């Protein structure tokens, strides 16, 4: 028996690990993924940092309420989450979905962030824009500066809600970068995994209930966020994350004509099961 050690052993070990992970997704049904009726789709294994599947990654798309990930992150990183925000008429001149705030009401910034992410309330997102940026125009500048800073090279935001107003666009690749950036923040992660949140106006004691639109959180036990979106232009959109048995996966899905909750769950399970099976077979 020949014994190896030192650099030679390290080389064999590297080649073994490389071949293992190169074949890790050999049996993932790429053909079936390509048949899905979605405009764009990205699937990334956050454990191995590998993009498993990519469809129209660079296509310019309407991001809808996926935009609110950036809105929430700017508010979280600005700090002062316990400060009250005075609701003004400009903040509530928005279309549904809305929380229904009243002019003159005081709402905690942290509660606005949760309402923005969990229920996708547009008046909450607009309130964040005014509270953090002073007005929508300045906040959009902040959004675009942050986008460039984290490597979103083909994105332009015009508003904090995700309305199809002006030149408001992104790409699946950029939205994946945004999601990967956001999930590094524990406050963000704690918010996006919540099904429901109850809060009150500070000076009115009016009760607000923010219920998630993300049905994956209710139907799939391993789901841990992140955000849903919809406009007539964007169609049904979803950025979803799931963690199972030490595995971590992120999906970006744009303009899905198929049931996005079913599709996302099936993708997650296929990846998680395949990883386990491949690792067991390799041992």
How deeply is 139 buried, as exposed, middle or buried, from its count of CB atoms within 10 A (0-12, 13-18, 19+)? buried
Q: Which of 44, 65, 227, 244 is catalytic?
A: 65
**CA 48 → CA 17, 24, 179, 272, 283, distances in Å?**
12, 10, 16, 12, 18
Report DSSP state, residue 193: T
d(CA 37, CA 33): 9
Report DSSP state, residue 91: T
Catalytic annotation on 89?
A: no
**What values do phi and psi take at 242, rounded to 5?**
-140, 150
d(CA 252, CA 61): 12
d(CA 219, CA 77): 31
User: CB of 151 within 8 A of CB of 186?
Assistant: no
Q: Is the peptide bond before 281 cis (omega within 30 degrees of 0)?
A: no
Catalytic annotation on 120?
A: yes
d(CA 221, CA 90): 39
Q: Which of 44, 114, 119, 120 is catalytic?
A: 120
For the annotated catalytic residues, the residue numbers are 65, 68, 120
């Amino acid at each position: 028996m020949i014994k190896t050690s030192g650099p030679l052993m390290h080389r064999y070990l590297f080649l073994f690990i490389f071949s293992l992970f190169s074949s890790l997704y050999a049996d993932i049904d790429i053909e079936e993924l390509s048949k899905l009726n979605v405009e764009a789709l990205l699937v990334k294994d956050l454990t191995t940092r590998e993009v498993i599947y990519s469809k129209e990654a660079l296509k310019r798309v309407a991001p809808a309420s996926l935009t609110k990930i950036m809105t929430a992150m700017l508010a979280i990183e600005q700090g002062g989450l316990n400060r009250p925000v005075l609701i003004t008429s400009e903040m509530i001149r928005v279309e549904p979905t809305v929380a229904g705030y009243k002019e003159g009401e005081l709402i905690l910034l942290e509660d606005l962030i949760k309402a923005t992410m969990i229920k996708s309330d547009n008046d909450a997102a607009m309130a964040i824009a005014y509270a953090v940026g002073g007005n929508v125009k300045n906040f959009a500048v902040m959004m675009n500066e942050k986008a460039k800073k984290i490597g979103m090279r083909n994105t332009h935001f015009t508003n904090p809600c995700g309305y199809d107003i002006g030149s408001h666009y992104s790409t699946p690749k950029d939205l994946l970068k945004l999601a990967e950036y956001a999930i590094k923040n524990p406050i963000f992660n704690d918010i996006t995994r919540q099904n429901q949140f109850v809060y009150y106006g500070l000076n009115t004691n009016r009760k607000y209930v923010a219920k998630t639109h993300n049905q994956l959180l209710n139907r799939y036990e391993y789901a841990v966020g992140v955000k849903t979106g919809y406009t007539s232009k964007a169609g049904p959109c979803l950025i979803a994350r799931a963690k199972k048995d030490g595995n971590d996966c992120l999906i970006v899905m744009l303009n899905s004509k198929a049931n996005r909750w079913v599709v996302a769950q099936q993708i997650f399970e296929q990846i998680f099961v395949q990883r386990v099976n491949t690792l067991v077979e390799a041992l």
